[in-house]
């Protein structure tokens, strides 16, 4: 799972649900093919890791993979059947907020058919609607 090594504060607030269009991180920079989020949403570190494993498994580790997002927001949760009060719960998992248009994964050094298969397999692991895009400057 991905999470920060060290943060200034152990717990923080989640903030608002993401809306709008991504202003940065919306063009392909490293690879040839990419998965782009179509709708705004939240991705957990578990979803990100399972999608990464799916892509690596389908490409048989032939291409180069870049992960363009990082889960840096902690989400806390109190145990079940605990009374109210007694402070905020422990950190349960980490999330990443996505606006629509944000690139999630990039693949390079691989054919388009292999990239399509790998990204279709990884789309099922993510909680936001995504689409495959191709770098126009190749």
Extents of the domains making up the chain: 33-77+90-134
Taking the chain, what is the end-to-end CA distance rounded to the nearest angstrom? Answer: 33
Q: Torsion-angle region of residue 67: left (phi > 0), alpha (psi -120 to 50) or beta?
A: beta
Q: 0.75 exceeded by the pTM? A: yes
* pLDDT band at 14; cut points 50, 70, 90: confident
In tens, the pLDDT along 76-110 reads 999 999 999 999 999 999 999 999 999 999 999 99
In tens, the pLDDT along 16-38 reads 999 999 999 999 999 999 999 99
pLDDT of residue 114: 95
What is the spatial order of strands in the sheet that 130-134 belongs to? 64-67, 103-108, 33-37, 130-134
pLDDT of residue 138: 59
CATH tag for 33-77+90-134 (out of 3.90.1170.10, 3.40.50.12280, 3.50.50.60, 1.20.1730.10): 3.90.1170.10
């Amino acid at each position: 799972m991905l999470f920060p090594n060290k943060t200034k504060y152990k717990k923080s607030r989640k903030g608002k649900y993401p809306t709008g269009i991504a202003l940065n991180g919306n063009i392909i920079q490293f690879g040839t093919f990419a998965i782009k989020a179509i709708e705004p949403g939240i991705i957990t570190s578990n979803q990100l890791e399972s999608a990464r494993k799916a892509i690596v498994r389908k490409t048989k580790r032939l291409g180069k993979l870049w992960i363009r997002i990082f889960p840096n927001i902690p989400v806390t949760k109190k145990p079940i059947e605990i009374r109210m009060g007694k402070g905020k719960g422990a950190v349960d998992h980490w999330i990443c907020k996505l606006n629509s248009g944000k690139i999630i994964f990039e693949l390079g050094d691989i054919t388009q058919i292999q990239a399509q298969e790998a990204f279709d397999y990884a789309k099922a692991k993510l909680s936001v609607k995504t689409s495959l895009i191709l770098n126009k400057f190749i």
